[in-house]
Structure 1
């Protein structure tokens, strides 16, 4: 699924992309200048989705966004040149008093204005957002925070190095806030000292060098780091409480708009606990599943506990269970695609499935 697209543009809950949540979080906090860093060769889907940025109000006179390539940082460092130069230049021209950094794997709807207010009231140079999470929802490379009773970060370590018996760990959500002038100075000093090129690694290192405050987030969070966690995050949207917590809080989530006809459910359709985007044609069975735009489910077809992305066609009497079908997949009549809840089976984009596929062992 990420062969030609970054994690950030993976579809989510029928009509959204993961990047929508970070963009919405920033815009809802009145952030008007956004700098995005992607891997080279994987930005086509980013431009296709964001376009001019109208849906996130990034096309106004006083708003703007920039996209840069991570590989350029690596090349500059290898050549001995200042590799944070473009970031420092951007921060300087932004004229912003504060800067927020966000990673791309933590799916949440957070009030960044509230985080900033707490940061302004403290005498710490850096504020990091965290949430108490069970071990099975933490990636082995995620950062765990050590937080004292006053909410200050006393240490941080990789989850692989955690030796505690705690059932819940203080998972860093990869969201940081600090003064812009202080960040520019830190970046300048960091590149002179050979600091990590990846900005997330830079901020993790910075936590151990400056006074850092921890802000505990208590809302809905999905930590998406593999197929299973991506599948679970989507399936969680079939739970009304989790769906409302993420998408119907007081902060709106914006996405690219498409004007299409409503989904049509015929007399033969059998739909239970499922979500559909616009433009779908449903003649068959859909239980506990999510469907993006313009999906066709023919008579006798059965889809259960699956994620079906845009423009897929499941033909007569086909069966799809515990699977993720990427865009434009065609499933021939009578074909079975069967995975499991622990190991959802993924069918690549544009695949024409002619015979049975089993997985989830």
Structure 2
């Protein structure tokens, strides 16, 4: 796959997940105990043999740099190719920066890459797949653009991109919607096209005043190109809201989904961090939960996800919740249907409880 360049686009709508994105893009939100959301797209590219991957930088880039660094953990710290960053030019007028504008500003550099094809992915979609199959489909159908899509088994109350396809896979319509019905054909936010078509779309769309690669670059040129949909039948979740994040995290407690994402297929890589094993003390009770290393547990944890270095004191009950790194839950507190971001301290005898389908959010560094 040395003839494919990977691009991960971090310009994403965070309006429904702002509690987690004050200082980070959606792509670096912690997930599954030790990962970040960007790990899924990046690992799928690496596992498919893609050795050159570019990351577009959003405004809040510090967490991206801290997580990815040189790309060593994904075997992308290379003398040639490897991981590189696509930076926006400084705009003296402080004009709005967009993905299409950033691609246009860096088009000359991207055009000089030797790869014949570009695969562009969002950083907020959870999946684990081999892109070699997508390339074969793209070539066999003589597609100009291939859009990867999946079908959801439940309704989503968050923005998404829907497509309509004919029996042969030809895309006849692309539309953005604020919510999704069951069994809709939902774009995964992953597109495959040749370098030549990518350059033409970016150049033409930006010079016509466009700002969004999907809306102005693909949706408005649907009549100009043969666009095919590639159906992926594995587990996929697009995370655009708090509800999406919570439901997708709870999905991981289903062994079938966990095995599909992390065990049965190629590995998902992330930033390496060594730590001591979790300690389960005398009164600890843990049921159907995902516990990262470095935790100390003295209370009850049920149907929940605990990240690294979480401290759960005596008499604590944690149910249907997500507790991120370095949180401390003090004695006799009750946490249910709640997400605690990193470094939260809950003092003794507190009760935090959210709705069954929409969790209570505790922002990073909060002391309760």
Q: TM-score, normalised by structure 2?
A: 0.88
Q: How far apart are 1:77 and its partner, in Å?
A: 7.7
Equivalent position to 1:144, from 150, 153, 162: 162
SS at match of 2:348: coil
Q: How far apart are 1:160 and its partner, in Å?
A: 5.1
Task: State how far apart, in whole Å, the 1-side matches of 2:328 and 2:178 are.
Answer: 42
Give the equivalent residue in structure 2 for 1:33.
52
Give the equivalent residue in structure 1 for 2:314.
299
SS at match of 2:250: helix
SS at match of 1:209: coil
Structure 1's unaligned 5+ residue stretches are: 354-361
1:272-283 correspondence runs (5 A): 272-283=287-298
- With over 3 angstroms needed to count, the CA separation of the structure-2 counterparts of 1:135 and 1:51, relative to structure 1, is same
- With over 3 angstroms needed to count, the CA separation of the structure-2 counterparts of 1:179 and 1:74, relative to structure 1, is farther
Task: State how far apart, in whole Å, the 1-side matches of 2:109 and 2:212 are.
Answer: 17
Q: How far apart are 1:170 and its partner, in Å?
A: 1.0
Is the aligned partner of 1:215 residue 2:233?
Answer: no
Q: TM-score, normalised by structure 1?
A: 0.89
SS at match of 1:260: coil
Task: State how far apart, in whole Å, the 1-side matches of 2:269 and 2:304 are.
Answer: 22
Q: How far apart are 1:36 and its partner, in Å?
A: 1.6
Q: How far apart are 1:267 and its partner, in Å?
A: 1.4
Query: Matched residue pairs, number?
Result: 345
Is the aligned partner of 1:285 residue 2:300?
Answer: yes
Structure 1 stretches of 4+ moved >6 Å: 73-79
Give the equivalent residue in structure 2 for 1:113.
132
Task: State how far apart, in whole Å, the 2-side matches of 1:91 and 1:193 are.
Answer: 20
Once the two structures are superposed, residues 142-199 of structure 1 have per-residue CA deviations (whole angstroms, 9 ceiling, x without a partner) of 221110111111122222599xxx74211111111011122212322222322x2222
Q: How far apart are 1:204 and its partner, in Å?
A: 3.1
Question: Is residue 220–residue 245 contact of structure 1 (8 Å, CA) maintained in 2?
Answer: yes
Please say which of residues 103-112 and 224-233 is displaced more in the overlay.
103-112
Give the equivalent residue in structure 2 for 1:313.
328
Equivalent position to 2:278, from 254, 263, 269: 263
Q: How far apart are 1:74 and its partner, in Å?
A: 11
Give the equivalent residue in structure 2 for 1:96.
115
SS at match of 2:249: helix
1:46-195 correspondence runs (5 A): 46-69=64-87, 84-134=103-153, 136-137=155-156, 139-140=158-159, 142-159=160-177, 167-194=182-209
- With over 3 angstroms needed to count, the CA separation of the structure-2 counterparts of 1:78 and 1:253, relative to structure 1, is closer
Structure 2's unaligned 5+ residue stretches are: 1-19
Q: How far apart are 1:10 and its partner, in Å?
A: 0.5
Task: State how far apart, in whole Å, the 2-side matches of 1:283 and 1:299 are.
Answer: 5
Q: How far apart are 1:47 and its partner, in Å?
A: 0.9
1:178-257 correspondence runs (5 A): 178-194=193-209, 196-201=210-215, 202-257=217-272
Task: State how far apart, in whole Å, the 2-side matches of 1:335 and 1:204 are.
Answer: 50
- With over 3 angstroms needed to count, the CA separation of the structure-2 counterparts of 1:160 and 1:135, relative to structure 1, is farther
Question: Is residue 70–residue 83 contact of structure 2 (8 Å, CA) maintained in 1?
Answer: no
